[in-house]
Amino acid sequence: MPRPKLVYFFSQPHQPFFALGLFNALAVMLLFIPAFRGMLSIDARLLHAYGMIFLVFTNFFYGFTYTTFTRFSAQPPIEERRYLRVWVLNLLAALSFYVSLWMPPLFYVAALLMALSFAYTLRIFMGIYAKAPEPKKDQYWIIVGFGMGALADLLFLLAQIPCRHCRSGLYFDMGVEVGIYLYLIFLPAVIAFRMVPHFSRCMNYRKSRGFDGVLLLLLLAHVLLSQAWPKGLFAVDLLAALWLGRELWRMELPFPNPDPLLWGLHLALFWLPLGFLAGAAVEFFEAWFGYASLYLPLHLLVLGFLTTIMIAFGTRVTLGHGGAVLGMDRWGAWLLWMTQVVVLGRLALSLAAAQGSISPWFDISATLWIVLFVLWTAKYGKILVRGAR
């Protein structure tokens, strides 16, 4: 019967949010390819930046945190009616955003709906945090991370308001920087440095004192320097790379690991210092020698760290809550390798752009992203929607 299947699909928060994120991951890129090439008369920069931050990754974040935040806080699961309100807001925001590409005033509707989504989520999480018998710092920093996402949404909204004396370009650039570094990188890093050592049985590891606060300050320094003094940006990222590398050294992760799922989580964590280190080198040559990388430092972190850990965590949640055997087969391991191919494809695009040409690497890089999510859906989509049984 169709009704029971629909009931099951909405019965756990990760299912509708992950499904919406998967759809948007494909839709945004399929629209971005012709938009970037000038085949569609739409704002390609806004589509790519806002679409990826809020339509794609935010839905994946909600799917994961609405499932795990209550466990962190030793509280009962969030009621279905509450997370479905947020999902409906996200769905309406996505639909409004797609239409706004041809009818720009509707972007205000999309951004305001997303703001309501953040506000309601923050209200839910703050209520859970207040009731936790022993509130921990991880939950606090998760709430801060979502607050940064709400701030980024506001900056994008301000950037689209027509105003003669407003610095719309600055608002847009700050929206991208805050959205990427203080939201997309900071929030999953907080979660990863709590959960990956636990999954890996690193019993002797404890986060360095003030780890999350120091990470936020380093990322904030990156955001501010990106606008105030880009020539000094490489120094902050180099410091972040060394500091994160030291933290991973303390963790003593068993890498490489025979378990593909753990291997994927470990690989994602290694991308954090590696991404900042490579980014520091690129930023140095960009600022001092005019090298054009087509936003390579940002993409190394978003694809190397964020997408890898999203594929690994997303697969684990889908299998574990779908009644399937918890673990990755060869197909799942291959998807993790495929994620690294996506990173390499984006690296090749930046190297080609530095030589003055993006063909054919733009199409290859974008297609690899699409193939990754099509393959994940082909393998795990049925479990996500219907469960293993």
| 210-268: pLDDT as tens digits | 999 999 999 999 999 999 999 999 999 999 999 999 999 999 888 777 788 888 899 99
| 192-205: pLDDT as tens digits | 999 999 888 888 88
Backbone angles phi, psi at 208, to 5 degrees: -60, 150
Q: Which two tokens stand for residue 159?
A: 């950037």
Q: Using pLDDT thresholds of 50, 70 and 90, give the confidence band for residue 90.
A: very high
Query: What is the domain-level CATH number for residue 44?
Result: 1.20.210.10
pLDDT at 216: 98
| 274-284: pLDDT as tens digits | 999 999 999 99
Q: Among 4-18, 154-168, 299-313, 347-361, name the most confident range.
A: 299-313
pLDDT averaged over every residue in the chain: 93
pTM above 0.75, yes or no: yes
| Range of the structural domain that residue 45 is part of | 2-386
Distance CA 160, CA 155 (A): 9
Backbone angles phi, psi at 355, to 5 degrees: -90, 0
pLDDT at 1: 43
pLDDT at 261: 85
pLDDT at 3: 47
Per the structure, the count of domains in the chain is: 1
pLDDT at 325: 57
Q: Using pLDDT thresholds of 50, 70 and 90, give the confidence band for residue 327.
A: low
pLDDT at 258: 78
Mean pLDDT of 173-188: 98
